[in-house]
Amino acid sequence: MKVLGLVSSPRRLGNSELAVREILRCLPDEWEKRMIRLSDMNLIACKACYSCLAREDKSCILKDDMDFILRHMLRADKIVIAAPCYILGAHIGVQRLIDRLMPITENSLRFADKQCALVISYGLPGWEGLAREEMLKIPHIFGMEFAGAVTLEATLPGDSIRGRNLRRLQSLAEVLAERRPAETQESEEGVLLCPYCRSRLLTIKPDRTWRCVLCDVNGLVAVGEEGLALEKNPLCENRFSAERRIAHERRLQEAKQQFIERRAEIKLLQEDYADGDWLRPPGT
């Protein structure tokens, strides 16, 4: 087996890196274990050129280290991705990676046999924000099997591999080592999670219907003796399913066609708003 650890933190031997190293250490010695530090990679931000939609192989035209990362992800059987929470969201390293995944959505079958685990470190109680949910997109966009996510309160470097955090990492490693099924992975502090993608980002309406913002699954909030539970609507399909991916790609291609047809009209509209002075730093 081949394991790849992706670390999205500028801190060497910080909480994300230590957590990944701990998981890798728990996996069988004979497995190949490699790591990539996302902050060492040249990852250009998506330029919204939509060239990937036009290309036969759906590849991105930006020439940077994205191909290197994808090549190593494709080689791996198991992928562990770790990022710290920065200002209530996931660190920019993973955000850059996520924004470049548009060409992947159609090629996700190539990643379907891989298992992915996530580690999120945050510094202060109650300040974990949206980092976990932002990271959760990754396994689902790639179509990888989701092994589980651990959100670790880790104020000082090293806190991610102490006490209860250490046990949670070791338990996630057990899932990756296939010594335990993913369903037995500890849930997020008893919080109600989307039954499909495990996200906490749910919209709940007064009529007791709920919808997961991430995977678009919906259902009813059931009230039982043990409290509230989320019942999934058996008719709804999550947005990462093969059927909905194909429909999504069709919609994108239609939008591209509309853009080509209406390009002149759009240009006229934009030109009407083109006046105005941009402020720029001196010398640029």
Ligand X SMILES: Cc1cc2nc3c(=O)[nH]c(=O)nc-3n(C[C@H](O)[C@H](O)[C@H](O)COP(=O)(O)O)c2cc1C
User: What string of DSSP letters covers 54-93?
Assistant: HSTT------STHHHHHHHHHH-SEEEEEEEEETTEE-HH
Q: Which 211-240 positions form the footprint of ligand X (CB under 6 A)?
A: none
**85 sits near ligand X (criterion: CB under 6 A):** yes
- Start-to-end CA distance of the chain, whole Å, equals 50
Contact pick of 95, 105, 121, 165 for ligand X (by CB under 6 A): 121
Query: Shortest distance, CB of residue 160 to ligand X, whole angstroms?
Result: 6
- State yes or no: residue 127 binds ligand X (CB under 6 A): yes
- Residue 57 CB, nearest approach to ligand X (Å): 35
- Count the Cβ atoms, other than its own, within 10 Å of residue 283: 4
- Residue 90 Cβ vs ligand X, minimum distance, rounded to whole Å: 10
The pair of three-digit structure tokens given for residue 84, joined into one six-digit string: 């710290």
Cβ 169 to ligand X, closest distance in Å? 13
Give yes or no for a contact between 147 and 176, defined as CB atoms under 8 angstroms apart. Answer: yes
Exposed, middle or buried, 124 (CB in 10 Å: 0-12/13-18/19+)?
exposed
Q: Which is nearer to ligand X, 84 or 143 (CB)?
A: 84
**Binds ligand X (CB under 6 A): choice among 3, 4, 15, 135:** 15
> Residues interacting with ligand X, by CB under 6 A?
9, 11, 14-16, 84-88, 121-124, 127-129, 154, 157
